[in-house]
Structure 1
Amino acid sequence: MQPLELYIHIPFCVKKCAYCDFLSGPAGEKEKEEYVKMLVDEIRNCPDTVQNYRVISIFFGGGTPSLLTGEQIGRLMDTVREIFTLDENAEITMEMNPGTVTEEKLRKYRQAGVNRLSIGLQSVNDEELRLLGRIHTYEEFREAYHLARANGFSNINVDLISAIPGQTVESWRRTLEQVMALSPEHISAYSLILEEGTTFYKKYVEDEAKEGPKLPDEDAERQMYWDTETLMEKNGYHRYEISNYAKEGYACRHNLGYWERIPYLGFGIGAASLVPGDLIGNGKCRKLEGKMSRYTNPDQLREYAHSYRNKFQAELLTETEEMEEFMFLGLRKMNGISKKEFSEYFGKSLEDIYGEPICKLESLKLLEQDDDRIWLTKRGIDVSNSVFVEFLLEE
C-alpha cells in the first residue's frame, strides 16, 4: 500500500494574531459543529481508491484546532478510521494554543488517537506575546505544557518566532534557553515574515511604524538566526530542515512527507492536496491516473460547502513543475535530495537536467554533493531563496 498523509484544517481561532495570514477567524459553537459535520461528509466522500493507500500521518492544523471539543476530534478520527487504512504507528498531530487547553480536552484527544502536540508559544516574554496578539501568557503556556505531559503526551513541538518587534538578541536567547530547559522533543523556530493583509504588514510596511516597538535591524535578526542553530545543537536538538530542530528520532514525519512529496489529502476550507490522479473525484479523472495533481479547496465557507464533493477539477502538474518542486522542497532538508530518487521518479539523470546550476552553486560554496546526495551548505541555507531560483526551468 502506498503511503498517504492527511491534513485537516480547523479555521477557528479566538482572535487573529497580528502576524497571521492563515485562513482563520472566530466562530460560535453552532458554526464549529456545522463545520465538523462538513468535514465528516468530505472525508466520507473520498474515492474507493483510498484503499490502495495507508495513512502514515494526520495533521490537525489551523486556526486553532484545540478549540474543538474532544468529542468533535473523536468523531473526525472515527471517520478517518472508517474510510482509510491507518498505519499502526501513524503520527497524529494537533496544533494547540495554550489559551485553549483543558485537562478534559487533552484526555479526550489522547483517547481519539492524537499522539503529538504542536503548541504555539512564540516567545517567553509576555510583552512580546502581547505585541503578537497572542491570547496567553508564558505562565499559561507552562501550565498547558505540564498538563500535556501529565496526560501522557510524550511527543511535543513548541513553535517560536524570532525578530519580533522590540525583541533583542538577548531576549531571543532567553526564549530559546527557557524552552529548551523544558525539554520538548521538537522545536520549530521561524523568523517573523510580514505578510500582506496582516496587522503587522499595515503597521510596519504601509505605515512604517512611526510609534511603538521597532523591528530588530538586519544585524540583530542575523545574529538571532545564527544563535538559534548554535544553541539548539549544543542542547541536543538536531537541525533537520531550515526552520525545524528535533531530538534524535523526533523529526516531524508529517512535515518530512511534504518536503519529500509524499501524496497528501487536505480536508476543510482552503486545504491543499497533492495526489496521484486515482485519488481525485471518484474515478472521474482517469486521464490523471499515475500523474501528480494539485488542488485547493475554496477559501470561502459557502463555496467550500457546495464544492467539496467535486474535487476532480484539479491542476495537473507538468514534469517541469514536479522537477522544480522536487528540488525546492528536498533542499530544505539538511540531508538534501537523492540523485537516485530523482532518476527513478523522472527517468532522467539529475545532472542532465540541473548539471549547470549545480556546478555554479558548488563553485560558490552554496551547495555540496557526494555520489548520491546534494545538500545546501550553511552559507547556502542562509541564502536559500536565492539558491532555489537557480532550479527554475523554462517550459
Structure 2
Amino acid sequence: MPGGRRGDVGGSAAHGGTRGHGRGTVLHRDRAPAATPTPRRGAADPVRTLLHRHRELCERAVDPLEIAAGLEAHGVTDRTAARFRHRDVFSLAEEMYARIARGTGTPAPSRPEHRDEPRAGAGWIVLSLLPGALGAATVAGLHLTAGRIRPAVAAIGALSVALAVRALLRRGPLSSRGPGRTTGLRSPGARAWTCWLLVYAVLGDGLLGAAVGGGPDELPDGTATGPWPLTTVPVLALALACAPACWAAHLFAVRARRRLTVSRGLDEFAASVRPLLLAVFAGFLCALAVLLAVCGRVLHEPAGLAQTLPLGALLLLARLLTTHGFTHAPAVALGAAAWAEVTAQASVFAGRLPGCDPLAVPVDTLLTAWGPGSVPALACAAAATALLVHAARTLTRASAHAPTGTQP
C-alpha cells in the first residue's frame, strides 16, 4: 500500500509536469494584455447588473465618454467603479460600451471627430458684437438729444439691446445645447431678477443717493447730473462685454471637452478643468475692467468698477451654469442679489415713516462709509462668490460636458 501510494504520487507527479506546463501557459496568456475587455459571465459578473440598469444610456451612446458622463451623473464615482473591478469610471464605461455593442449584435455607432465640439461661427460672432454696438448707439443718442425725445431714444435703445441679447442667448456659446437642456433662463423669476439687476445698475445708485438726501423730487432726465442721476457706463460696458463672455464660454467648452477625451479618471478631469474655469473667469473680469475704464474715459463718468465687476461676474457664472444645464443655483443667486438691493432701497424709504428711523440706519451707515455703489457691490459680490464655489464643483464634472445632456 505505501508503495502503491508512492507510485500514485510519482504517477501524479509525472502527469503533473504536463499540467504544470499547461498551467504555465495559461498564466503566460493571463499576463498578455487583452485587446478588448472580456465580458464577465455568470453570477460573478458585477457589470451585468449595471448594464441592465443603464441599458438605454449605453445603447444610445456613440462613444464611451457619454456612458462615463451618464454614470457620473447617476452617482457612479471612481471608487464605485473599483467595486466593478475597474480603476475608474472611464475604464468601466469602455467595457460597458464594448459589451452592449456585442450584446446587440450590431456594430457600435461611429462618432464623427469633434461632432459636439463648439465651433466659432460667423453668426454668433456678429451676434456677440451686436449688443455692444446697439448700446453704444443708444448712449450716443442720449448724449445728442434733449427734451421729450431723450426718453423715446432710451426706450428704443433698451428694447433693441434686449432683443439682441435674447438672440445671442439662443445661438452661440451662451446658448444651451443638447436635448434635455434648457434654452435660456426658463424661470420667470430668474429673468425678472436679471432685468432688475441691470435696471438697478442704471438707476439704482442715483435713486439711493437721492433718497438718503430726502429725494428724489423729479423723475430721471437721462443725464448723469440730474436730480435722479442716470449711470450709463456699467450697462454700456456690460453690453460690450457680451463678446468677451461668448469667447470665455466657447474657450471653456472646447478645452473642457478636449480634456474629457484624455482624462483617465473623474478626479483627474476635475483637477484639470478647475484651473481652466478660474482662468476663463479671471480673463472675462479683466476684459470687463478694461471696457469699464474705456467707457468711463469716453463718457467722462465714473467707471464704477466696484459695483459693475461683481455684477458682471454674477451674470457670467449664472450663464455658464445655465448653458451646461444647471438652472436652480443661478436663479437663487440672482434672486438673492436682487432682494438685497430691493431691501436696501425699501429700508431708506421706510425710515421716513414715523418711528421707523432705525430701519434706515444700516444703509445710511454703509453709504456714509463707501457711497451708494457699495450696496450692489456687496450684494453681487456675495452672490457671485457663492456661485463661483458652486460652479467649481458642478462645471468640473464630466456630466456637465456630456454632449447629450445627461445631467440628472
- TM-score, length of structure 2 as denominator length: 0.22
Q: Which has the higher strand share?
A: 1
Q: Which has the higher helix share?
A: 2
Structure whose CA Rg is larger: 2
- Higher RCO structure, 1 or 2 (CA under 8 Å, sep 6+): 2
